[in-house]
Amino acid sequence: MTDETVWEHYMTDKAIQLFKNKYRCCGCNACEMICGKKAITMIEDEYGFRFPQIDTEKCVGCGSCQKVCCINNEVELCKPGTVYAASYKNKDISAKSASGGIFAALAKQVLTEGGIVFGSAYTKQFDVEVISIEKIEDLPRLQGSKYVQSSMNSSFLKIKSELQTGRTVLFCGVPCQVEALKRFLGRSYENLLLVDIVCHGVPSNRMLKDYLAFLADKKQMGIQSIQFRTKTKGQNVYGEIAYRQVSHTGEIAYRQEPLISYKSSYYKLFLNCQTFRDSCYHCKFAGTKRPGDISLCDYWGIEDEHPDFVKEVEKEGLAGISAIMLNTNAGIAFFERLKQEFLLRESTVEQVAKHNPQLQAPSVETAERKQVLDCYRQRGYQGVDDFYFKKYRMKILTSDIGQVLPNSWKKKILQVIRGKK
């Protein structure tokens, strides 16, 4: 019996059938939050992905949970009307961002005007949850890429409450979360700005926490922080982990180590699309039509599309270039208010999509994904790490060689390693 069959049976025994297979649920929590009887609870499967469970004793069969679902209902998406390559001029704030600092600029504007901003942040236990901030000094908590699914908790309820007071609200999330919020609210609000981040998939929060616990045990040190993207080596897949160690005298020492994608099983398997929840491989939002007022992503391929703009950004000493897609009149109007704070170059969604697969189609589920998840289920994160370094050892060695040797030497050495003359 497959996992999908198990979950279909599990759900169809209830008064309401929310989905037939795992790929028909994105884990957005909207059904849980809209249930007036509190009959729905999000529970984890064996891989840490959250799915709704219905308490049949409390369920009255009203169908609100079905109507709010962004996966099993038709959605209205917008194709961007205006597209820019952009880099934020505020160097201090931009330095803490993964790309061009656009989200930080939008959030700063809302906070300056007395609004409230919702986005994903780490807790001290490395749970990733949607939180709200009201002060600019708290903005760093929401900045930076977090390659994991965030928990919505009861954030939609708080957003609705804030909107009803007339306060400006900015919500930033992955597309399914943005669409889920729209369906939860059931109407448009002039004081709501929706920002969706182009996403290619999410691992479970449990897997991330298990990975960090695995590293802590291996190093015999605590984990202080993790950043998947820093700008110490440009706009690349290069991050940092900060470790914490307490001596027998009680003194605390900190040590930072680079987080290089191909040397991290979690990071590289994420980039290889091998650890996502099922729905990510069937994502209806993986295209140029978007659910948010504004869409943001890295502008991969900017060197090919706008090479002169790259030089301009470098000349100004700025770090990172994003693509910003303005999808609605609300998005266009808001951006006009702070347009002067960016270096901009007009572009097109076709130019951006040419270099970004997630604006073309969902991530592809490979045979290795099942192997990775099987290893995780059977042996925990140790099994995942063993699988990665065994299967990809030659690619890892090749990457190591590529980091230190001139191109003229690489081919010769690789031939020797592979037993070629």
In this prediction, residues 173-192 reach a mean pLDDT of: 98
What 3-state class would DSSP assign to 100? Answer: coil
Mean of the per-residue pLDDT values for the chain?
91
| pLDDT bracket for residue 361 (50, 70, 90) | very high
**pLDDT tens column, 226-268:** 999 886 555 556 799 999 988 778 888 889 999 999 999 999 9
Domains of the chain: 3-68 (3.30.70), 82-203+275-359 (no CATH)
Q: Say whether pLDDT at 117 is over 80.
A: yes
Compute the distance between CA of residue 35 and CA of residue 135 in angstroms, rounded to an integer.
31
pTM, two decimal places: 0.91
Angle, vertex CA 384, rays to CA 378 and CA 388, nearest 5: 140
Residue in this structure with the two tokens 């939860």, named with its chain if needed:
184
> Which of these ranges, 298-312, 362-376, 393-407, has the smallest mean pLDDT?
393-407
pLDDT for position 17: 83
Q: What is the per-residue pLDDT for 2?
A: 44
The candidate with the shortest Cα–Cα distance to 182, out of 68, 52, 283, is: 68
Res 286: pLDDT: 97
DSSP string for residues in 325-346: EE-SHHHHHHHHTTGGGEEEEE
pLDDT for residue 167 is more than 70: yes
pLDDT digit string, tens, across residues 319-335: 889 999 999 999 999 99
pLDDT digits (tens, 9 = 90+) for 211-237: 999 999 999 999 999 999 886 555 556
* pLDDT band for position 96 (cuts 50, 70, 90): confident
Q: What percent of the chain has pLDDT over 90?
A: 79
State pLDDT tens for residues 122-144: 999 999 999 999 999 999 999 98
* pLDDT of amino acid 7: 44
Q: What pLDDT shows up at residue 404?
A: 67
- Neighbouring C-beta atoms of residue 212, cutoff 10 Å: 18
What is residue 396's predicted lDDT score, i.e. its pLDDT?
84
Q: Which two tokens stand for residue 180?
A: 């889920």
| Per-residue model confidence (pLDDT) at position 417 | 62
The per-residue pLDDT for range 40-59, each reduced to its tens digit, is: 999 999 999 999 999 989 99
pLDDT of residue 116: 98
Nearest by Cα to 190 from 139, 78, 136, 115? 115
CB neighbourhood size of 144 (10 A):
22
So what's the pLDDT on residue 183?
Answer: 97
pLDDT in tens, 269-288: 999 999 999 999 999 999 99
Q: Which residue has the higher pLDDT, 102 or 249?
A: 102
d(CA 358, CA 353): 8
Helix, strand, or coil (residue 23)? helix
Q: With 50 as the cut, is the pLDDT of residue 3 above it?
A: no
% pLDDT > 70, the chain:
90
What separation in angstroms does the CA of 227 have from each of 141, 261, 324, 365, 396?
A: 11, 12, 23, 26, 21
